Structure 1
Amino acid sequence: MILYPAIDLKDGNCVRLLKGEMDKATVFNDDPAAQARAFQDAGCEWLHLVDLNGAFEGQPVNGGAVERILDATDIPAQLGGGIRDMATIETWLKKGIRRVILGTVAVENPDLVVEAAKAFPGQVAVGLDARNGKIATRGWAEETHYLVTDLAQKFEDAGIAAIIYTDIERDGAMGGPNISATAALANAVNVPVIASGGVSSLDDLIALRDCDAPLNGAISGRAIYDGALDLAEALKVLR
């Protein structure tokens, strides 16, 4: 399993939200590029970047911060938030993002996901963010009737690189991930699944690692910044 340290960008800063609420943001670093370098220096193999403002506005907002991160690091990064058309996808991939994450558009325009995955093999992931098992979009502000597994299975044959599954109610709450739902999703599809939301301790990572599902990795943010999760030990355990 890969540990993906999260750098969530709001107003140019590295922050963490509580359950997706923009007004409940805690700033952990006002220099996201320095934070990204620190993760690379610690031995992380990937970065997970989210343009939070972009997710709400439907277009990139923290582009400058993302570009500074790319300039400061050599490890691959995946990026989500406000990526909703082919032009934006192509722009970010050309700038050096290794993998774009399509969330809202996967619900509102699934044909774009299929088109993008075909045009950029291995470089398109789908972000499925759920509250009580149902997908939420537009920065988690709008809930839909789509069930996670049902939507995930629609993209099984599209050639997407991964599915990032986030339990919104667990995100930033330091209460542990939704292991059962994550494992069920990973066992229901043939696409690599990355767990997100609530990963707050070494025990959480071990539980995900040993959950009898083929998880690609796990994303953690607040626990790393708060020191609740020792990054060096976490990387060692997952390797």
Structure 2
Amino acid sequence: MLEIFPAIDLNNGKAVRLHKGEIQSAITYGDPYEFAKYFEKIGAKWLHIVDLNGAFQGSPQNFEVIKKITTHTNIRVQIGGGVRTEEHIQAYLKLGVSRIILGSIALQDQDFAIKMSQKYPIAIGIDAKNGKVAIHGWQKTENILAKDFATSFKNTAVEAIICTDISRDGTLNGINIPFSVEIAKQSNKYCIASGGFNNIENLKLLQQEFAQHKINGGVIIGKAFYEKQIDLERVLQTI
């Protein structure tokens, strides 16, 4: 069974979506708190949040929005974007966040990421351009393959890997299923596929492939919901 993670990307306190991670492509959809309440109402158990301001600036920037969501809803929140220190992690956990996503810092300092996973609920975000890991709000690509990076967390306490094919993100062209399967197999972790989800058929194909390879995981749904390409309530009832 796939877990569904409705997504909210935060930019200056508003819910937005980007095209391939480019901030100038941002489309604003409204109040993130109202979306969080709606996602909880229709049965979502998790909410995936990216602090875009934090990702670009290197430290969390939308604490008040997160606090409002965690205080006034019961939906579990996983959040990433600019989390670079243990203090950032602790601050989010004090707000009631359920899981912290480490991205850029996990590549720059794997020992730190692994150490944090032994103390806190940590997911690793692996975002790839042409198969290589991208960091700092996807502005910089490193010379390391995403699949090799995923292997680094195979025997660690990391809870989950969130894998994004940047070339698909915000395009509604469908999840890159082979990439998601490869990352899941290399890491041997619960794997959350992200980037380009577009319809129920895409969901069923991902579900079939994960089942075939005995992968436990989920999928992040963002633009397809905001652009009314799918009925998210129906999706949650189908899974």
Whether the TM-score (by the shorter chain) exceeds 0.5 is yes
Matches within 5 A, 1:2-151: 2-29=3-30, 31-120=31-120, 123-151=121-149
- Shift in Å, 1:187: 2.2
Aligned to 1:225: 226
Instruction: Determine if contact 1:195/1:215 at 8 Å carries over to the other structure.
Output: no
Distance 2:54 2:151 in 1: 26
- Shift in Å, 1:215: 3.9
Instruction: Determine if contact 2:148/2:186 at 8 Å carries over to the other structure.
Output: no
Instruction: Determine if contact 2:6/2:48 at 8 Å carries over to the other structure.
Output: yes
Distance 1:127 1:225 in 2: 22
- Shift in Å, 1:94: 1.9
Instruction: Determine if contact 2:47/2:75 at 8 Å carries over to the other structure.
Output: yes
Distance 1:172 1:189 in 2: 25
TM-score by length of 2: 0.96
Matches within 5 A, 1:170-181: 170-181=168-179
- Shift in Å, 1:237: 2.2
CA RMSD of aligned residues (A): 0.9
Question: What is the total number of aligned residue pairs between the two structures?
Answer: 235
Distance 1:22 1:177 in 2: 21
Structure 2 unaligned regions, length at least 5: none
Distance 1:132 1:96 in 2: 35
Tell me the percent identity.
39
Instruction: Determine if contact 2:66/2:95 at 8 Å carries over to the other structure.
Output: no
Of the candidates 141, 158, 161, which is equivalent to residue 159 of structure 2? 161
Aligned to 2:208: 210
Distance 2:91 2:220 in 1: 24
Tell which deviates more after alignment, 60-69 or 164-173.
Answer: 60-69
Distance 2:4 2:104 in 1: 24
Distance 2:216 2:56 in 1: 28
Structure 1 unaligned regions, length at least 5: none
TM-score by length of 1: 0.96
